[in-house]
A and B are shown apart, each in its own frame.
Chain A
């Protein structure tokens, strides 16, 4: 990076929408995106005529594989009544819609467009778990895919390395998992809208109703340590360390700073944009870090003139529990080897000094891969405007927020900073 980045023109977020994430056998990508679009348009405080949207960027990772349908740009343009205006599909695996968001920013900053919609969509639940596992594994590098690596396993190897280097055990990640579920329990749009305790109680009730042996867990950690509750997926990642298969969509509306206040008195200003890339496991020098995230963070912090200490809260890409730990270290929130201690001390809780994943994160909110990036921005939008309801961060002074999105196991990495002024 030779110089600090800047946008040619200021860009603001003026609206955001998303449906509840989940696994739906009666819903498809088109109607999920239509709902995200409707919510997004409806969230614009002073209203907007959809006819005024100049262009759309839509992230989709691999519906080609999941539902055997390609060329999602025009399908989405059609369902939201955008034809014949332009739409562009972006693909960066699980970071696809963060890329859509960046392209939307650049399109406005260049002066070419004034109002642009960015969003994402993915429909993963129509395949069996094994088939969908392969659908995600194709986001890895060719040699990894060939040798049977799955997504949880790519992060599993990173967790083994982290454990070797810093001494953190799998059990040390349980506080983080409990925290994610506590947040998701307050998020009506989360796929797992339940705490670990709620899920334990459901299992106990079910066992009683069926006359089966009733589990005797003393607390959440005892349940997480029970293989019948939390089976191994890819060592040391167990079921509750992993994000689910999800269907979902999300959309945000952007406008140039010059006209943003025609639409709302409370826009979010895009103050930092960063993107980096990464290589395969065998070529990653430090398996406890994603070099593309470090690069993206440097770019975004440089553009904003801010540092990690200035970020009031952040949505990070916790496709697996270990990913949240690595993310918070790569973004500079915590020292190397210290990230896993943050939740033990309550720092990353909703009422902590650095709330992380107030939405519940990917693990609990759900991870319809192509929709995740702009869904993270939806959470920032709600929190910074004080509209997050029960899960609102209690600190009334929050002003700066970040979204960190990773495609593959570090191949595509984005970090974006937002400010409420």
Chain B
């Protein structure tokens, strides 16, 4: 883990292992998710890996009914729209992610500020395996849990 470069490739690799990882500047402590090679606050280039706990709240979102081909292949269309958004993690940083577990046919019912918990959506296998970062409502996760 220590050897991985602080970039999107490593970030996506950790996601396939169900780990949400960021980089922290060892000089000023600023946290970046996805990780960055250089601290854009103090310009130090000494980073360390940190794992996020995976809890956060919904900052903003959208529900998409006309998606790009790779989302259409997943079965999303005008009748089955998907939700994406910005989530603020407990650690104080924000990430973009797919948002699961809401009724996407009623976007007005989705509430900004909803508490969320991390989820990982895996697609394909082997070399093509890809994992999307997702979040779902904390409540429903606890009820099921």
Q: A and B: real partners?
A: yes
- Which residues B55-71 have CB closer than 8 A to chain A? 59-71
Asked whether, in the complex, the Cβ of A157 is within 8 Å of the Cβ of B61, the reply is yes
* Contact, CB under 8 Å: B62 / A234: yes
In the complex, how many angstroms separate the beta carbon of B111 from the nearest chain A beta carbon? Answer: 10
Which A residues, 101 to 137, have Cβ-Cβ distances below 8 Å to chain B? 129-131, 133-134, 137
Specify the chain A residue showing the minimal Cβ separation from B32.
Answer: A283
Q: Mark B71-98, 1 if CB is under 8 A from A, else 0.
A: 1100010100110111000000111111
A282/B94 in contact, CB under 8 A: yes
B78 interface neighbour in A143, A153, A231, A237, Cβ under 8 Å: A231
Q: Is the Cβ of B96 less than 8 Å from the Cβ of A231?
A: no
- 27 A–B contacts from the bound complex (CB under 8 Å): A130-B66, A130-B68, A131-B69, A133-B67, A146-B12, A148-B68, A148-B71, A149-B64, A152-B64, A153-B84, A157-B62, A160-B62, A160-B112, A161-B112, A164-B60, A231-B65, A232-B107, A233-B64, A233-B65, A233-B66, A234-B64, A234-B66, A235-B107, A237-B62, A282-B86, A282-B94, A287-B86
Q: Which residues of B contact A160 (CB under 8 A)?
A: 60-62, 112
Residues of chain A touching chain B, judged by Cβ–Cβ distance below 8 Å, are 129-131, 133-134, 137, 142-144, 146-150, 152-154, 156-158, 160-161, 164, 231-237, 280-283, 287
Q: Please indicate the chain B residues that have their CB under 8 angstroms from the CB of A152 in the complex.
A: 62, 64, 66
Chain A residues with CB under 8 A of B132? 146-148
A-side contacts of B82, CB under 8 Å: 148
CA distance A406 to B72 in the complex (A): 28
Give the interface size bracket for B toward A. Answer: 20 to 34
B66 touches A149 (CB 8 A): no
Considering only CB atoms, which chain B residue lies closest to A282 in the complex? B94
* A236 → B minimal CB distance (Å): 7
Cα separation A231 to B77 with both chains bound (whole Å): 13
Across the A-B interface, give the 5 residue pairs with the lowest CB-CB distance, nearest first: A156-B62, A134-B68, A235-B107, A235-B63, A282-B94
Given the interface pairs A160-B60, A161-B60, A287-B60, the reply to whether A147 lies near B66 with Cβ below 8 Å is no
